[in-house]
Amino acid sequence: MKDTLGIIYAAEDDVDIREFTKKRSIAALPFGARYRLIDFTLSNMVNSGIKNVGIITQNNYASLVNHIGTGKEWGLDRKREGISILSPFAIHDTAGWYKGSIDALHSAMGFIRKTNQKYVLISGTHMLCNINFSDMQEFHINKGADITIVYKEENIRKDKLRKYTLIQKDDEGRIIDIEVHPTIPKSNNVSMKMYLLEKELLEYLIEEAVARGYEDFVKDIILKKINKLNMYAYQFNGYLARIDSLTTYYRFSMELLKKEIRDELFYKNGLIYTRVKDEVPAKYSEDAFVRNCLIADGCIVDGEVENSILFRGVKVNKGAKIKNSIIFQECEIEENAFLDHVILDKKVTIKRGRTLIGTENYPVAINKGEVI
């Protein structure tokens, strides 16, 4: 897919994880002991042969920029093309804040026009999967499609489908209708918000939409062009984690404790890469008890940890117990503290003897740097 430009839309505004996105974008949200959400989209693009990627950011993107760096870990640290951070303050066409996804793409058109690729692949960051986009492009070309959208058929309750964008298609895969957050869903084909189209078509659609004062890429372009353009739906059959709330973040994080899930998400169609940090191996004392956990480098465990995920540099003191929890980087759990169904942001300290207990649907979330 060297003829394809990757555009990662990291300015997503339809994801509600306010507890952990006040000071970071959703794309930079930690996941799986050492990764960030953007690692999956970026790695999928690179593994599919895409060599030129632009990342559209909006606010709170400092941690994202720090994580991406030069793009070395993804093989994108190159003199020509490679990786480009498209912040609202670095793009001349914007006043610093996007009105919507169309405005964001319009602001990035200066960058997009200068690229040499024929196609553009647009994707968000909160749909985590391991997908080879080359198969999608082959499908796109064979169908003679103007726009191809990736979807997954979900067998979940209709009331759960209401918060998604749903695709209706015919037997050939041609899209005949799209529902955005429908009250009564007519389909269970959930859009994964990944779009493939030619660069010239994207430019035309964006310029036309801006001239008409439109703001939303799906509602104002995709929906209104269904009967005018050949739009096709490409089915993804693999594992998909939709991170759009605190509850789903917790649930899909805990699913990583299953080996079959880890194997499919991190290895199936290519490795998922992330920024490498040199840390000493995790250290376990003679009193430590650990079962069914993901524990990153730099951790020191003197207490008990079960069914949990620990990011780099976490310290669990003697007598402390952690169950069914997610502990971000550089947290400390002091002696005899007890955590169950808890998510701690970075650099949180839980003082001696403290107890925090949540549930699977309502985990306790503690903000960055808090002392409890």
State the SS3 of 109-134. Answer: HHHHHHCCCCEEEEECCCEECCCCHH
CA angle, 9 as apex, 273 and 174 as ends, to 5°? 100
Residue ranges per structural domain of the chain: 4-268, 283-366
Three-state DSSP at 246 gives: helix
Contact call for residues 268 and 238 (beta carbons, < 8 A)? yes
Residue 16 pLDDT level (bands cut at 50, 70, 90): confident
* pLDDT single digits (tens) 300-339: 999 999 999 999 999 999 999 999 999 999 999 999 999 9
pLDDT at 120 over 70: yes
pLDDT at 59 over 90: no
What pLDDT score was predicted for residue 90? 52
4-268 and 283-366 have identical folds: no
> What's the mean pLDDT when you consider all of the chain?
94
What pLDDT score was predicted for residue 319? 97
CB atoms within 10 A of CB 70: 11
More confident residue, 302 or 12: 302
What pLDDT score was predicted for residue 96? 55
pLDDT at 128 over 70: yes
pLDDT at 122 over 80: yes
Q: What are phi and psi for residue 250, nearest 5 degrees? A: -65, -45
| Class of the CATH-defined domain 4-268 | alpha beta
Q: Is the sign of the CA dihedral 244, 58, 40, 19 positive or negative?
A: negative
Q: Which two tokens stand for residue 34?
A: 């050492």
* pLDDT single digits (tens) 234-292: 999 999 999 999 999 999 999 999 999 999 999 988 999 999 888 899 999 999 999 99
Contact call for residues 217 and 178 (beta carbons, < 8 A)? no
What pLDDT score was predicted for residue 92? 47
Q: Which two tokens stand for residue 45?
A: 């693009």
**Which residues neighbour 45 within 8 Å (Cβ) at sequence distance 6 or greater?**
6, 8, 53, 121, 123, 133
pLDDT > 70 fraction of the chain, expressed in percent and rounded: 97
Q: Quote the CA–CA distance of 139 and 359 in Å, as a whole number.
A: 43
Superfamily classification of domain 283-366: Hexapeptide repeat proteins (2.160.10.10)
